[in-house]
Chain A
Amino acid sequence: MLLAESAADLFDTEVTPELLEAADRGEWPEKLWRILDEADYPRLFAEPGVTWADAYPLVEAAGNALLPVPLPEALAASWLLSQAGIEQPGGIVTVIAQPPGWLAENRNGAWYVSGTASGVPWAHAAEHAVVIARASGEPVVALLATAELRIEPGLNAAHEPRDDVTATEAKAVACAPLGGLSTGILYEFGALTRATQMAGALRRILRITAHYAGERTQFGRPIGQFQAISQQLAVLAEESTAATIAAAFAWAEAAEDPETPAIAVAKVRTGQAAGTSAAIAHAVFGAIGITAEHSLHFATRRLWCWRAEYGPERFWAHALGATIVRQGSARLWPGVTVL
């Protein structure tokens, strides 16, 4: 089993501002991915006994380092393939997590898959993609070769690849029943990973913002000594801490129940923290923080995108709220304490 600290150290060493700039321009960080691949990080769940809780430090560190490669997606694929008993291929594997409505059909022993999705992370860079489809109404996990897909490359506002994907009777590499899992499970995993990446990025933002406030001098003293700034740093610390706890809790719960409401809680809470904290960081850094030259935007632009991906706060808050209203107040507290 890999060590969380060694992953974090590796990310910190490899993900330099220069690397982030290159990724921002559209360059694939081949060397970084090769290092991760050789460490078997993308195939974490291929090892028996690995649970969601084991992946948490890796995803948090990826968020903290703003890792510009689809490691969270690879982990989602690794987990689902291991659940379905499909061997994970080498190379880059992404996930098509969003909409239901993908169909799979078995003809003469081979599986053919059709559907469309937008915003698929790094589809054009990946060799394979994992999707949940329905075959005669029954949910299945399909492993597709991206060579079989039509892919329109796109970017989110943080310049992370988010591609449109169409499969027209694409021949699957493998296909297996989903079992008892929800057909939305990849979307849930996506929400969990984005929540956790946000928590990691918020930890980074707190560190660099507090450091800058102690270093930057105006009116003869560090700006962090002014109450107007220190009060904002306090809110930043509160939000970052809340995000970390919400994300960590969700992984711990998901290790026992992949469909835990703690994932919705984490996406709502970290999304809220992302909005508040990115604004504070930019306020403290002032004009230098909105330049292309400064590295702050690599974090804040990602936060804004991750907040929206795999369901914004409204989506998950609605799911949580509808449940507690339907259940009534008598089940509110007992529900909270069994989470």
Chain B
Amino acid sequence: MIPVPPKLPPETEALRAEVRAFCAAELAGTTGLDRSDSWMGFDAAFSRKLGARGWIGMTWPERYGGHARSALERYVVLEELLAAGAPVAAHWIADRQSGPLLLRYGTEEQRASMLPQIAAGELTFCIGMSEPEVGSDLSAVRSRSERSPSGGWVLNGAKIWTTFAHRAHYMIGLFRTAGTPADKQRGLSQFLIDLSLPGIEVRRIRDMSGREHFNEVVFRDAQLAAGALVGNEGEGWTQVIAELALERSGPERYLSSFELLRAAIDAAVPDDAYASIELGRLYAELVTLRQMSLGIAAMLERGEDPATAAAIVKDLGVTFEQRIPQVVQDLFGLELLAGGSDLARIQARILQIAPGFSLRGGTREILRSVIARGVQK
């Protein structure tokens, strides 16, 4: 179901060393807690530096500000950024899915205006899929987009759990352009939405750790120009499924707790056999997941559809990410977990955000339905 990945080509090693050295220099002075934010760490200046280095939009054509690099080269950059705990959130979603979506389905005008800015690390995107009454059953979208008399579009409704909408410049949102929620997948379309437009309100939602990263976005007669439609009217569902495969296929789906694993390794006593066994199990999982994730990068490089494979790696990956804080709780007592140590702080944070790992990007149960369908085909 997932091909065995080829050895990474030798030219990726120089690139890896370059990214590693860049991260070491840029992240000097950060704490483990800072780095534990992983791909939820937001730093617009850092993203612009990555853009200047050519590490955003790497596989896109040069005429759109891309760098025509291979999917495997891009993979090496991504995994090095994640393993270093670099703050990549300001460009992550745009690089991972919004840009590729525009490249595939967008108009020439959308590509020409958006992609170079994304590749420069100057634009933050968010994804408008879930709604207050629309969670796992995404096809029941209620938010509407209707033609305005001037030929543009008028948006009404609300999106929710929209990560970094409060920092984003644009959203690519899924709206109903025909029929009713009972029509399910038919009549849905995607739009490129400038979030600074009137009629759009972004409300922050605080999570249980006390932090604010996701939002509700309310649309009240928000007016879009005719050129805001992405792809074809009524084909939003097909586009969204392709987008979700991109959203689920990357190394961020197993590296979210990596900083905690590092801290646990440093806190473990070398002659503690039980700790070694538990950490060794995690290491075996880590190495295997990396190969699986590389296998998906190889599929993307060959232009294959990774939908089922991506769901497999995401579900196994988030299970691994969620197991790390469980192992840490099992291994370390109050002496290590109550104080102000890096381990204690990182553990407290990861424990509270880990339940979300198997929700964001599609719940565990939905992913398993996707996998089971793939297996029973």
Q: Name A residues whose Cβ lies closer than 8 Å to a Cβ of B.
A: 206, 210, 213-214, 224, 227, 230-231, 233-238, 241-242, 244-246, 248-249, 252, 262, 264-265, 268-269, 272, 313-314, 316-322, 324-326, 328-329, 332-333, 336-337, 339
Interchain residue pairs A-B with the least CB separation, the first 9 = A321-B280, A321-B276, A317-B280, A234-B368, A230-B372, A320-B280, A329-B262, A268-B284, A234-B371
Cβ–Cβ contact A325 & B371, under 8 A: no
* A/B interface sample: 24 pairs, CB < 8 A: A227-B369, A231-B368, A233-B372, A234-B371, A234-B375, A237-B371, A238-B312, A238-B316, A246-B287, A265-B283, A268-B280, A268-B281, A318-B277, A319-B280, A320-B284, A321-B275, A321-B278, A322-B276, A324-B265, A324-B280, A325-B276, A326-B270, A329-B262, A332-B265
Query: Which of B272, B273, B279, B316: most chain A CB closer than 10 A?
Result: B279
Shortest CB distance A328–B (Å): 6
User: What 0/1 pattern do residues 339 to 377 of B give for CB contact below 8 A with A?
Assistant: 000000000000000000000000001011101111110
A325 is contacted by which of B279, B285, B290, B292 (Cβ under 8 Å)?
B279
Q: How far is the CB of B365 from chain A (nearest CB, A)?
A: 7
**Least distance between B258 CB and chain A CB atoms (Å):** 8
CB of B315 within 8 A of CB of A238, answer yes
Residues of B within 8 A of A272 (CB): 281, 284
Question: Chain A's nearest CB lies how many Å from the CB of B4?
Answer: 4
Contact of B277 among A235, A321, A329 (CB under 8 A): A321
Residue contact B372 to A231, C-beta cutoff 8 Å = yes
A314: chain B residues within 8 A (beta carbon): 277
Q: Is B7 an interface residue (CB 8 A)?
A: yes
Task: Contact check, A234 vs B372: say whether CB atoms are below 8 A apart.
Answer: yes
Chain A residues contacting B372 (CB-CB under 8 Å) are 224, 230-231, 233-234, 237
Most chain-B Cβ atoms within 10 A of its Cβ — which of A227, A262, A265, A325?
Answer: A325
Residues of chain B whose beta carbon lies under 8 Å from any beta carbon of chain A? 1-2, 4, 7, 16, 79, 83, 258, 261-263, 265-266, 268-270, 272-273, 275-281, 283-292, 295, 309, 312, 315-316, 365, 367-369, 371-376
Contact (A321, B283) CB under 8 Å given A230-B368, A241-B312: yes
CB distance from A260 to the nearest CB of B (A): 11
Chain A's closest residue to B266 (CB) is A329
**What's the count of A-B pairs with C-beta under 8 Å?**
148
In the bound complex, what is the Cα–Cα distance between A214 and B288 (angstroms)? 30
Pick from A214, A231, A248, A264: contact of B284, CB below 8 A.
Answer: A264
Cα distance A207–B153 when bound, in Å? 49
Tell me the complex Cα distance, A224–B290, Å: 30
Q: Is the CB of B279 within 8 A of A269?
A: no
Q: Interface centre among B4, B79, B286, B372, by most A CB within 10 Å?
A: B372
Cα distance, A249 to B3, chains bound together (Å):
11
Q: Please tell me if the beta carbons of B376 and A213 are within 8 angstroms of each other in the complex.
A: yes
Q: For A233, what are the chain B residues with a Cβ–Cβ distance below 8 Å? A: 371-372, 375-376
Residues on B with beta carbons closer than 8 Å to the beta carbon of A328: 265-266
Q: Are A320 and B283 in contact (CB under 8 A)?
A: yes
**Are B284 and A238 in touch, CB under 8 angstroms?**
no
Say how far B151's CB is from chain A's closest CB, in angstroms: 45
Residues of A within 8 A of B284 (CB): 246, 264-265, 268-269, 272, 316-317, 320
Complex-state Cα separation, A326 to B79, whole angstroms? 24
Contact of B369 among A213, A230, A252, A329 (CB under 8 A): A230
On whether the beta carbons of B376 and A325 are closer than 8 Å, the reply is no
CB of B31 to closest CB in A, whole Å: 14
A272 to B316, CA, bound (A): 13
| Minimal beta-carbon separation of B22 from chain A (angstroms) | 15
Is B291 a contact partner of A322 (Cβ separation < 8 A)? no
Contact A242 B280 (CB under 8 A): no
Cβ A324 vs Cβ B279 within 8 A: yes
Chain B neighbourhood of A265, CB < 8 A = 283-284, 287-288
Q: What B residues does A316 contact at CB under 8 A?
A: 280, 284
Q: Which residues of A contact B263 (CB under 8 A)?
A: 329
Instruction: Find chain B residues with CB under 8 A from A231 CB.
Output: 365, 368-369, 372
- Minimal beta-carbon separation of A145 from chain B (angstroms): 39
Q: How far is the CB of B203 from chain A (nearest CB, A)?
A: 34
A336 & B262 in contact (Cβ 8 Å cutoff): no
**A224-B376, A238-B371, A241-B2 given as contacts; is B280 within 8 A of A249 (CB)?**
no
CB contacts (< 8 Å) of B315 on chain A: these are: 234, 238
How many angstroms from the CA of A230 to the CA of B292 in the assembled complex? Answer: 22
Q: Are B290 and A336 interface neighbours, CB within 8 A?
A: yes
Complex contact B270–A333 (CB within 8 A):
no
Question: Judging by beta carbons under 8 Å apart, are A252 and B270 in contact?
Answer: no
Asked whether, in the complex, the Cβ of B276 is within 8 Å of the Cβ of A318, the reply is: yes
Q: In angstroms, how far is the closest chain A Cβ from the Cβ of B25?
A: 16
Interface residue from B79, B277, B280, B375 paired with A210 (Cβ < 8 Å): B375
B residues less than 8 Å from A246 (CB atoms): 284, 287-288, 291
Q: In the complex, which residues of chain B have a beta carbon less than 8 angstroms from the beta carbon of A317?
A: 276-278, 280-281, 283-284
A148 to B291, CA, bound (A): 46
Give the contacting residue for A242; candidates B79, B266, B272, B292; CB below 8 A.
B292
Tell me the nearest residue of chain A to B83, going by C-beta.
A333
